[in-house]
């Protein structure tokens, strides 16, 4: 979740066929919540998310150890069936945080961390919107707009330079 920004329900609905190993992307196609599979939250939530090589390697290792089931889920329970969201937290996330000596956070905080790092790395608001699966750029700005604030230092000089250039004058 930290490397993809997926919602908890999207992680639980992920199937092995949703991973494109050749292009290092995963396709968000469904969500699992309240004991059933659903279409994604919005049309824009159906998306392709690039994933780093380190996560591809981890997923390949996990695929060998992952419990098999009819649904071919990436994160199933021990019998290969859909995992209970509570177990995802209490048997997965929280123990991992304790081992890493990190404070306990909500699953959704991983999604916010993903978006925050995209913004800190200079990704455009439109890229952030697309990767997060937000229905509009307004949603992205409503949640993360404060992070896009840049310095106004030099704005007037850059504007003056561009407006007074020979190309503009001609």
Taking the CB of residue 64, how many other CB atoms lie within 10 A of it? 6
Reference 20, options 54, 61, 62, 48; nearest CA is: 48
Cα–Cα distance, 93 to 107 (Å, whole number): 8
pLDDT value of residue 159: 84
pLDDT value of residue 168: 56
CA 55 to chain centre: 13
Catalytic residue among 43, 61, 90, 108: 108
Residue 134: active-site member: yes
Residue 90: active-site member: no
| Residue 123 pLDDT level (bands cut at 50, 70, 90) | very high
Beta carbons of 45 and 10 less than 8 angstroms apart:
yes
Residue 94: active-site member: no
Question: What's phi and psi for 151, nearest 5 deg?
Answer: -75, 140
Catalytic residue among 3, 27, 33, 41: 41
Catalytic residue among 29, 32, 111, 114: 111
Residue 112: active-site member: no
pLDDT value of residue 109: 97
What average pLDDT score do residues 96-110 get?
96
Cα–Cα distance, 23 to 34 (Å, whole number): 32
- The predicted-structure confidence for 9-48, as pLDDT tens digits, reads as follows 999 999 999 999 999 999 999 999 999 999 988 889 999 9
Catalytic residue among 29, 30, 47, 134: 134
């Amino acid at each position: 979740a930290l490397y993809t920004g997926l919602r908890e329900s999207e992680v639980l609905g992920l199937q092995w066929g949703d991973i494109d190993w050749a292009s290092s992307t995963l396709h968000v196609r469904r969500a699992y919540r309240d004991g059933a599979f659903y279409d994604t939250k919005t049309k824009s939530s159906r998306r392709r998310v690039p994933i780093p090589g380190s996560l591809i390697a981890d997923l390949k290792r996990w695929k060998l150890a992952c419990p098999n089931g009819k649904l071919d889920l990436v994160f199933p329970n021990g019998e290969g069936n859909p995992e209970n969201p509570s177990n995802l937290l209490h048997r997965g996330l929280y123990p991992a945080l304790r081992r890493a000596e990190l404070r306990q956070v909500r699953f959704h905080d991983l999604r916010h961390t993903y978006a925050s790092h995209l913004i800190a790395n200079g990704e455009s608001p439109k890229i952030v919107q697309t990767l997060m699966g937000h229905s509009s750029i307004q949603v992205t700005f409503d949640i993360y707009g404060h992070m896009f604030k840049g310095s106004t230092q030099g704005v007037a000089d850059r504007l003056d330079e561009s407006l007074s250039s020979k190309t503009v004058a001609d």
